[in-house]
């Protein structure tokens, strides 16, 4: 396993009101500021998606020796919806497949949906499975995989994630996040359930003290769960601490490298 950098780690810099970080500069920042060789993009930080823009982003990444692994896509439409609303969600997420392919990505992350749903009935699970299967079918000609992250809504429960994947014919994979599980869920047990189907991983990091401690959860235990499942891909650092981002990311790199 090697460390990469998830774009969300720098979300405050991308969104700075006066001097926002340009996505085109992200490969340089990852390499020169943090010494990392791979990045994950977020669709919300794209200034545009013209062919010229995508070529320039690809050129800059190659110039820095940085791989673009995937795009974490956040769309307003719900992939738990059925009928025309579900098709609308598939179209919204599916639009990013060709963008990811142009950038040489291996996958796009799509949210499960279901943020407002109180009861995940069999019909809701089937609708989500059908929508993810439709996305997977669109991605297949490009050699891309669709990945679902344990995020919120339907994907806040590992058993629901596994059920939807099975209903969809196992045609998509997971993006396990170390720290996204809600209260009341055993995060380590949940992580172990979905890690065997991981295509990518978010090494979520909260506040790291100067002594390296990480009170939110045991980072080393999470890495061991990934290793035990046979995962050998990238661990994408996703820093979500309240402290200064550059400092937090550097501390995360130092701490996570202890376990690699």
pLDDT digits (tens, 9 = 90+) for 66-119: 999 999 999 999 999 999 999 999 999 999 999 999 999 999 999 999 988 989
Residues 6 or more apart whose CB falls under 8 angstroms from that of 242 comprise 207
Q: How confident is the model at residue 243 (pLDDT cuts 50, 70, 90)?
A: confident
Mean pLDDT of the chain: 96
SS3 sequence of the chain: CEEEEEHHHHHHHHCCCCCCCCHHHHHHHHHHHHCCCEEEEEHHHCCCCCHHHHHHHHHHHHHHCCEEEEEECCCCCCCCCCHHHHHHHHHHHHHHHHHHHHCCCCEEEECCCCCCCCCCCHHHHHHHHHHHHHHHHHHHHHCCEEEEECCCHHHHCHHHHHHHHHHCCCCCEEECECCCCCCCCCHHHHHHHHHHHECCEEEEECCCCCCCCCCCCCHHHHHHHHHHCCCCCEEEEEECCCCCHHHHHHHHHHHHHCCC
> Taking 80 as the threshold, does the pLDDT of residue 65 lie above it?
yes
pLDDT digits (tens, 9 = 90+) for 123-173: 999 999 999 999 999 999 999 999 999 999 999 999 999 999 999 999 999
Q: What is the pLDDT of residue 53?
A: 98
**For residues 23 and 57, is the Cβ–Cβ distance under 8 A?**
yes
Q: What is the pLDDT of residue 190?
A: 98
Q: How confident is the model at residue 62 (pLDDT cuts 50, 70, 90)?
A: very high
CATH fit for domain 2-257, picks 3.20.20.150, 2.30.30.40, 3.30.1300.10, 3.40.50.970: 3.20.20.150
Q: What is the pLDDT of residue 148?
A: 98
**For residues 236 and 5, is the Cβ–Cβ distance under 8 A?**
yes
Distance CA 138, CA 30 (A): 30
Q: What is the pLDDT of residue 213?
A: 85
pLDDT digits (tens, 9 = 90+) for 166-225: 999 999 999 999 999 999 999 999 999 999 999 999 999 999 887 878 899 999 999 999
Residue with tokens 């100067």: 210
pLDDT digits (tens, 9 = 90+) for 41-50: 999 999 999 9
Distance CA 97, CA 146 (A): 9
Residue 12 tokens read as 């405050």
For the chain, how long is the longest CA-to-CA vector? 53
**For residues 254 and 212, is the Cβ–Cβ distance under 8 A?**
yes
**Whole-prediction pTM:** 0.95
CB atoms within 10 A of CB 152: 14
């Amino acid at each position: 396993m090697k460390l990469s950098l998830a774009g969300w780690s720098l979300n405050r810099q991308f969104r700075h009101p006066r001097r926002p970080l340009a996505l085109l500069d992200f490969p340089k920042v990852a390499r020169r500021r943090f010494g990392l060789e791979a990045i994950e993009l977020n669709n919300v930080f794209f200034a545009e998606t013209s062919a010229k823009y995508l070529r320039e982003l690809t050129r800059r990444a190659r110039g820095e020796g940085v791989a673009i692994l995937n795009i974490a896509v956040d769309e307003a439409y719900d992939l738990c919806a059925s009928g025309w609303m579900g098709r609308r969600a598939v179209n919204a997420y599916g639009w990013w497949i060709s963008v990811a392919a142009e950038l040489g990505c291996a996958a796009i992350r799509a949210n499960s949906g279901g943020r407002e749903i109180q009861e995940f009935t069999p019909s809701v699970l089937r609708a989500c499975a059908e929508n993810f299967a439709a996305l997977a079918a669109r991605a297949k000609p490009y050699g891309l995989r669709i990945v679902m992250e344990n995020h919120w809504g339907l994907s806040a429960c590992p058993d629901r994630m596994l059920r939807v994947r099975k209903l969809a014919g196992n045609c998509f994979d997971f993006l396990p996040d170390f720290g996204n599980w809600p209260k009341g869920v055993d995060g380590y047990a949940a992580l172990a359930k979905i890690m065997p189907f991981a295509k990518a991983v978010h090494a979520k990091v909260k506040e790291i003290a100067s002594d390296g401690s990480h009170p939110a959860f045991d980072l080393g235990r999470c890495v061991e769960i990934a290793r035990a499942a046979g995962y050998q891909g990238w661990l994408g650092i996703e820093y979500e601490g309240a402290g200064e981002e550059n400092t937090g990311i550097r501390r995360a790199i130092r701490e996570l490298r202890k376990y690699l």
